Amino acid sequence: MTTFDDREKAFEDKFRHDEDVLFRVRVRRDTLAGLWAAGLMGMNAAEAQAYARRIVEVDIGTPGPHDIRDRLSADLHAKGIDISDHRVEREMGRLLDLARRQVNAE
């Protein structure tokens, strides 16, 4: 193996690692966001966990920048909770930072 091959493999390994971390951070953020919204909707612990899993599935099944925000907003509005998309997005930003810290601490 040449030095070039070694460097190429190292870059590929780092890319794989970074993508794995990014995936875990997003799943953690989505879970935290689901639990946050479930709390606002008055769900019990079991319902909240199930709801958070559904939110994670939304992000995996429909990738996009606003899929989670739109789903959370729609669910909250359906329960009669008056909340703006901006507030949901701001909370998701806060939870993204928290998720990043949690995953990095593991």
Per-residue pLDDT reduced to its tens digit, 77-96: 999 999 999 999 999 999 99
Residue 47 forms part of a structural domain: yes
Q: Which residue is associated with the tokens 């930003």?
A: 93
Rounded CA-CA distance 68/62 in Å is 9
Rounded CA-CA distance 78/26 in Å is 25
Rounded CA-CA distance 15/42 in Å is 40
Residue 80 forms part of a structural domain: yes
Provide the domain count of the chain: 1
Residue 11 forms part of a structural domain: no
- Domain of 57 in residue numbering reads as 34-106
Residue 2 forms part of a structural domain: no
pLDDT digits (tens, 9 = 90+) for 50-82: 999 999 998 887 767 688 999 999 999 999 999
Residue 23 forms part of a structural domain: no
Residue 26 forms part of a structural domain: no
Residue 12 forms part of a structural domain: no
pTM above 0.75, yes or no: yes
